[in-house]
Each structure stands twice: as C-alpha cells, then as structure tokens.
Amino acid sequence: MPQLPRRADHVGSLLRPAALAEVRQAWKDGRLPADDLRAVEDDMIRELAAKEEAVGLAAVTDGEFRRDWWHLDFLHGFAGIDLAQRPRPANFSGEGESPPIPVITGKVRHEQPIFVGAFSFLASVTTKTAKITIPGPGMASFMGGRAVIDHDAYPDVDEFWSDLIEAYRGEVAALYAAGCRYLQLDDVSFAYLCDPSFREQMAARGDDPDKLILRHRAAGKTAVLGLVTTKSPELESEAELRRRIDEAVAIVPLDRLALSPQCGFSSSHHGNDLTEDDQWRKLELVVAVADVVWSS
C-alpha cells in the first residue's frame, strides 16, 4: 500500500504542552526572541517524535507545535491572503477566541517556502516517515465565499482559483525537493457540507453546496476511517471500532482502508478537552486495532 506507511495514521496536530504555550505567548508579547522560541520548539518536537515512534506510528508529525491554527498559519504564508477577525458566533461554545478567517486581498502567490523549514527539522529527528498536513485549497475561501475574495484583484473568480492552485504547487514542489514524501491535504469543508444549516448559509450567499461534493472515491485511493474521537477523553472499544470497519468494508475493500482519529487533537493552540495521557491511549488503540484488522 504505497499511500500510507502503515494502516494506523493520525492527522497531525497533538496537544501542546503548557510550557510551549507559555513561551509562544512570551514570543508574541515581544518578551522572547524568535531564536529562543525556536530552540524550545525544537526540543519539544524532538521529544514528541520519540513518543510517536514509541506508540507504533509509522508516520510522525511535529504535532503542529509551531502553528496557532491548523490551517491559517499555512494559508497566511501565501502573498495575497490575509487574516481577518470575525465576531464570535452566537452558537460558538468553545473556549478561547473564535478563529480568524482568510481573506484574499491581492494576487495570490507563493513567494517563499511556508513549511519547508518545519518539515526539514522533523525529518532530521525521526527515523520514521516525516509527515506534513496542510489545509486543502478550498479552505482559503470556504468560510466567506465570494465575499472574501477582493473584486479588484479577482473580478473573475476562476483566476483566483488558478493562482491559488499554482501557489499550492509551489509549496508542494518545495516540500518535495526537501524530501517530503507524505503530504496530506486536510479539508474539513466536506463535513460542513453535511450540515443542513451551513448548506442554507452557503445557498444564501449564492453557492451550491452540491457542486462542492466529491461523490466517489478515486480509483486506487485509500480511505482513512476517522473512528476515534479527539474531542473527548472516553476511550472507544476495540470491538466497536472493528464493527465500524466491517461496515466500511461493505463499501470499500479492506485493502483500501486505514484507521485514524477523526481529527487532530489540537486543531488550534488551545487544544481539545482531554489530557495528554488520553491522547496517547487513543493513538495506542488506533495502532493496536489496525495491527489486528490488517494483520491477515
């Protein structure tokens, strides 16, 4: 199976240690030089990679320890994409600030590497496959639609998409040149398209949600089943995971499936409502179940 180093996988983000949050805040406040922050991040990522290897993961990430948001740090790395704060939604019940949204303020260009440095360091501290996850291109305008794409820069929205795709190609090429062989594009918009209220919002702004759905899995591709929640500490049972894998086999052959948590454990710097011990138990479960299910 060339797509995945192993049948057990995870998206990428992991819970940030409290000490990391403290030094990142000190850097943001101007109380800590960037080089000192980078040294702390390096030490913590080195320890993290060793833990990932120890639980049996064959694809190792840096936990996205150098990011504030799973998607915005990457998108903001392109010229022409800025971030805008938005009012806290009335139905937002999480802790911390509501995330900004990307806004296209000029021609989108890839002018310098975005995550190449982060990848190169990770690759230097693991003997396993170093993996980087970036947001899918659709996340650049998904939350705002046409309204967040500057009309002067892009009177024709198709030109925006052409430029964005070319910018992505620039970063992908740079990562490949740096040795990256496992690059994952994460696009949560597909989950949003299942939400009736969000579909209504999209229709109200002039978008057709049905046109954004990729109905069929491409031939030869592997579907990774996100069956272990990263949002709460309760540990799923092995029997339940195997039952749900069996359900998937009715649609996709077992040799084209894999298993992972359903999302990252820390899509933002705040982290989800569970402990690091909870996190590692869940990853150990993913590895254990995958080894049993695909051992034959």
Q: What is the pTM of this model?
A: 0.87
Q: Which CATH class is domain 18-293?
A: alpha beta
Provide the pLDDT for residue 142: 82
Q: Return the SS3 of 16.
A: coil
What is the b/e burial string over 66-76, where b = at least 16 CB atoms within 10 angstroms of the residue's CB? Answer: bbebbbbbbbe
Name the band, by pLDDT with cuts 50, 70 and 90, for residue 242. very high
**Ranges 152-156, 166-170, 211-215, 290-294: which has the least confidence:** 211-215
Structure confidence by residue, pLDDT tens digits, 252-285: 999 999 999 999 999 888 888 999 999 999 999 9
Nearest-5° Cα angle at 226, 174 to 265: 70
Residue 247: what residue type? E
- Where do the structural domains in the chain lie, given as residue ranges? 18-293
Query: Residue 195 corresponds to which tokens in the numbers above?
Result: 């939400």
What's the pLDDT tens digit per position in 1-11? Answer: 345 778 999 99
CB neighbours of 271 closer than 8 A, spacing ≥ 6?
A: 15, 16, 265
Question: Mean pLDDT, to the nearest integer, of 25-48?
Answer: 97
pLDDT exceeds cutoff 90 at 52 = yes
Residues 6+ apart with CB under 8 A from 26: 32, 37
